[in-house]
Amino acid sequence: MQEFNNLHPVSAEGAGKAKVLVVGGGGRCHAIVDALSRSEKVGKIYCAPGNAGIAAQAECVPIKDTQVNELKDFALSENIDMTVVGPEVALAAGIVDVFSEAGLRIFGPTKAAAVIESSKDFAKQLMAKYNVPTAAFRTFDDYAQALEYVRNGSFPVVLKYDGLAAGKGVVIAEDLAQAEETLKDMLLDDKFGKGRVVVEEFLTGPEFSFMCFVDGEKVWPMTVSQDHKRAFEGDKGPNTGGMGAYSPVPLITDEDIEYSLEHIMKPVAAGMVAEGRPFKGVLYGGLMKTPQGVKVIEFNCRFGDPETEVVLPRLESDIYDIFSAIADSTPVPEIRWSGKATLGFVLASKGYPGSYGKGYAISGLDEAMSLGDVRIYHMGTAKKDGDYVTSGGRVLMVVGSGDDLKSARDLALRAAECIRCDNFFYRKDIGWRVLK
Ligand code: AMP
Ligand code: GLY
């Protein structure tokens, strides 16, 4: 198959230009690589481990995101100027600490700061201490006490495993029986490992993702986006890593954004400094616009996936300049966003988020890209005999841009319809809250 990409091609190694290493391998990293490839300052991009689609824009290196020492050795041997980290596992494993000790520039939070994502309890205690609006909660490590508390409360109730659980550690229990079973899994059977449980008040309202570039107390907001976590149309089915996203989010007003910046993101950034865990990198606020105002559902210590795939295409500034300024704590240049809207569909393997087959042929990518302002980010693909095949649960994200969300959606949908694979399903209702 002909190389289809209308994204930027692999950069030629330019004299005096930067060499950048992107750690990770999904659609989020593809979008970061794509944004870096638009920078005049960047000469060569490596991605570890990358994937078959990323390989059209970066040199993929077969090192896993958790092999922190191997990544450091690679960065030293290749004289990498800047490393950018996608996944939380690498951050929680201390990649930023290891690189910094070796004198390597890296964009992302230290292990001590990444705890804002890896420990739900830490994040909740921080919000309580710095008066950041969030759901009422209590943390338990004892099954009998947790059950007693839940028994005396109302339903639904939210149960969150305190640790990284790949998006599977949150259960909204509709009744006591479900709560009891979940608490058993989390506290008695240690299904995710030894941990604690945060029991949280159930909130309602539209969710949105507010990612900010952060350097200590300083915070630069990105444009907001909205993910779709459930597998099926109408927000039905199990929770997934995200089935589609769009940006901007008309339900969220400028006042909501201002409030979220001043009362959530800035106090949290300042709180992290005060706690001796200054945060550098992308702080992701998973926020909900409740009838009582915007409240925090969760924090992540990195770019969101699939939000990054719709947010970074709207970035007009040079992302390498932003990464560099934050890594070096020098002034960050003005960050500009295009007025265009973006909307993307995730094409997933049938069976995802449960078990699914791999190795199914994918075709029609060239045709999809030829429709216009379309980007195809690879989430889980491999190459077999020169052609793309599926290799993950989420396989591709097809993003359309347009003057408004409707034209972005229509374009992305037409593009998605060009792509053929015997094992795909996707939600066609991405953006349903704001589009008819
Ligand atoms: P989290 O991993 O904390 O983002 O939780 C996963 C999903 O569970 C969120 O995106 C929400 O849809 C839902 N959720 C988490 N906490 C709450 C809450 N307190 N009230 C209502 N829904 C919640
Ligand atoms: N889209 C949710 C996340 O990145 O965790």
| pLDDT, tens digit (0-9, with 9 covering 90-100), for 416-430 | 999 999 999 999 999
Q: Do domains 12-107 and 136-201 have the same CATH topology?
A: no
- Counting ligands in written order, which one lies closest to the CA of residue 298? 1
296 φ, ψ to 5°?
Answer: -85, 130
Give the chain's mean pLDDT. 94
Judge: domain 341-425, CATH 3.90.600.10.
yes
pLDDT at 4: 40
pLDDT at 128: 97
Half-sphere exposure of 67 (CA within 13 A, CB side): 11
Give the whole-angstrom CA distance, residue 23 versus residue 226: 24
Res 246 pLDDT > 80: yes
Q: Which pLDDT band, with edges at 50, 70 and 90, does 3 fall under?
A: very low
Res 8 pLDDT > 60: no
CB 398 within 8 A of CB 342: no
- The proportion of the chain whose per-residue pLDDT surpasses 90, expressed as a percent, equals 90
Question: 170 alpha carbon to ligand 2 midpoint, in Å?
Answer: 13
pLDDT at 239: 86
pLDDT at 197: 93
Tokens 């390989």 identify what position? 55
Q: Which pLDDT band, with edges at 50, 70 and 90, does 14 fall under?
A: low
Instruction: Choose one of 170, 228, 296 to mutate for the ligand 1 pocket test, by most ligand atoms within 8 angstroms of C-beta.
Output: 170
Q: State pLDDT tens for residues 297-355.
A: 999 999 999 999 999 999 999 999 999 999 999 999 999 999 999 999 999 999 999 99
CB 117 within 8 A of CB 166: no
Q: State pLDDT tens for residues 377-397.
A: 999 999 999 999 999 999 999
Q: What tokens were used for 127?
A: 């919000």
The CATH class for the domain spanning 136-201 reads alpha beta
What is the CATH topology of the domain spanning 12-107? Rossmann fold (3.40.50)
Give the whole-angstrom CA distance, residue 379 versus residue 377: 6
Question: 212 alpha carbon to ligand 2 midpoint, in Å?
Answer: 14
300 CA closest ligand 2 atom index: 5
* Domain boundary assignment for the chain: 12-107, 136-201, 207-328, 341-425
User: For residue 190, which of 166, 172, 169 has the smallest C-alpha distance?
Assistant: 169
Which CATH number does 207-328 carry? 3.30.470.20
For ligand 2, whether the C-beta of 304 sits within 6 Å is yes
Q: Nearest residue CA, atom 4 of ligand 2?
A: 304
